[in-house]
A = this chain, B = another copy of it.
Amino acid sequence: MSDEQLPSALPETHRTRHRRLREQGRLDRAELDAVLEAGFLCHLGVVVDGAPMVVPTVYGSDGRHLYVHGSVAGRSLVASPGAAVCVTVSHVDGLVLARSVFEHGVNYRSAMIHGVPRLVTDPDEKLAGLRCLTEHATPGQWDYARRPSRKELAATALLALSLEEASVKIRTGGPDDGDGPDASLGIWAGVLPLTSVWGEPEADPLLPDGIAPPPHITARAGTRTG
């Protein structure tokens, strides 16, 4: 685990280069951090017997690594250490409704990270990685809930993926056919925004009376994520 900062510009490799829609590609590492910061669910791609497998799982990021549970794609990742993975994080911000079906699209922010994950074995790094995962999904929860015991820690497989090789794509704004021939069709065009909102905390039915949700949970209700 190196303390070295990653370069602020995202690298151009044959996998991260933006081919189709160059205008949507972002090359600043701060944009990668922002996309990762905005969510907690990623889609982890692995190759199993030559075929792809895409598994949804939670992640955490410390700006240099992305951490995921090693168990999620257990048989594939454990069965083939050293195998490449691709982790993709996507946020949908709205539907882009154009005059023509052909020009319809989606406003989104997406990050794609390529690499060979490392199984975290050092207990201190494992604890730090799990803290990162927990705090990423629910800030404040690591200091509130009971932390992992030595036994639980041993039973948890944690993977660290370097954020070195990553790309970001973002689309914002309205449709692109507002100044073309379809503009005269009299068809409404614009964006239908989509947001993710936290609801009110729902107590476990088994919870004894008198235990209120902590402020870091209640403060989240009604706020947006993504």
Contacts and interface: CB of A to CB of B under 8 A. Distances in A.
Contacts of A203: 188-190
- What is the oligomeric copy number? 2
B204 A53 contact: no
A97 B54 contact: no
A19 B204 contact: no
Contacts of A95: 137-138
A134 interface: yes
A149 to B, nearest CB: 8
Contacts of A145: 97-101, 104, 187
Contacts of A51: 15, 47, 84, 86, 114
A200 B95 CA distance: 12
A45 B56 contact: no
B211 A187 contact: yes
Contacts of A134: 101, 104
